[in-house]
Amino acid sequence: MSESTRRGDAAVGRSVAVSAGYVILGRITSRLLGIVTSVVFARLLTPADFGVVGLAAMVLGTLDMLTQSSIGAALIRFSELERRHYDTAWTLVALRGAIVAGLMIATADLQAHIFGDERIAAVIWVLALAYFVQSLPSIRLVDFQRNLQYGRLYLPGLAGRLISFAVSMSVCVIYRDYWALVVGNLASTVFGLCYGYWLAPYRPKLSLECWREFFRFSKWLSVNNFFTMLDNQLPTYVIGSHDGVAAVGRFQMANQVAALPASEIAAPIRGPAYSGLARVTHDHSALRRQLINQIGVLVLIVVPLSLGIWVRYWASNGSMPFRFWSSAR
């Protein structure tokens, strides 16, 4: 390997590491706020409150995964972007948001009837509104990701989290019901939309000129998203249908704790890592080296943390987590 190749790999690696650091810092900040929020919510709300929002969010998550088209990933992957690509991407994202939000609203009463709780319908309406607002961002924000400038996105993300925290806590303390889990996200989404257009100015224009290019890129990712949706949402649906909203709340809290290494370390790194790989797609050797290095770092960090959570559970319960193994024998 030549000296110039080493320097090139090191430069990309440093950019990915710095960008990943900003993303992880944002997640840590979010989780620190989340710890305070969770403590207050746990004392003032009931498992049924978490279950109501969890079931409504499950339906939205299902529709989101089924219609996921990876537009942002395509924009990062394309070597050259023109105005027509941005316009088509914005139109596709907005159209998808309108369709998903419309389906949510149209089926809100039916979903409330299926899960046996009329409160779910109102929550679905608010979640649908937040989802539609979220589907109208400045598409030029993707330029920061393409250029591995994730630091430019840190302060807007932090401000959005603080707004969500302040609104959620206020509603929880004053009203002490499940709306505290919903309205904070809506407030943060509206703020993010406005700030995004200030940070990356863009005048939307409806266009579907390049839809075939996006479809060729995302068609297989859509198949993968379908199976990911089944893996993520099917347990919630089964538990909600069989045991009710309180059981869903307990399951989701436990699942969040178990998935912390993946959600707080692996997931934040994925975006900058993908942007870094997209910059060396023309060089297969460099692409292979970057991919191996990134996977190695994730394994070294995520596996010990996951084992630590497992051991902590084992120690606190005084027995193996999977006791049915020994009983089956």
> Which pLDDT value is given to residue 21?
77
Q: What pTM was computed for the model?
A: 0.73
pLDDT at 327: 45
Residue 165 above 80 pLDDT? yes
3-class DSSP assignment, residue 185 = helix
Give residues with Cβ within 8 angstroms of 177, minimum separation 6: 45, 49
Q: List the chain domain ranges.
A: 3-315
The more confident residue out of 215 and 42 is: 215
Contacts of 201 (CB under 8 A, 6+ apart): 138, 140
Residue range 197-214: mean pLDDT, rounded: 90
The tens digit of pLDDT for each residue in 171-193 reads 988 888 889 889 999 999 999 99
Q: How confident is the model at residue 35 (pLDDT cuts 50, 70, 90)?
A: confident
- pLDDT per residue as tens digits for the range 223-276: 777 777 777 777 777 777 777 767 777 777 777 777 777 666 676 777 777 777
Question: Which pLDDT score, from 0 to 100, does residue 8 have?
Answer: 57
Nearest to 34 by CA among 186, 124, 169: 169
Is-contact 175 52, C-beta < 8 A? no
Q: What are phi and psi of 200, to 5 degrees?
A: -130, 80
Token pair in block for residue 323: 């006791």
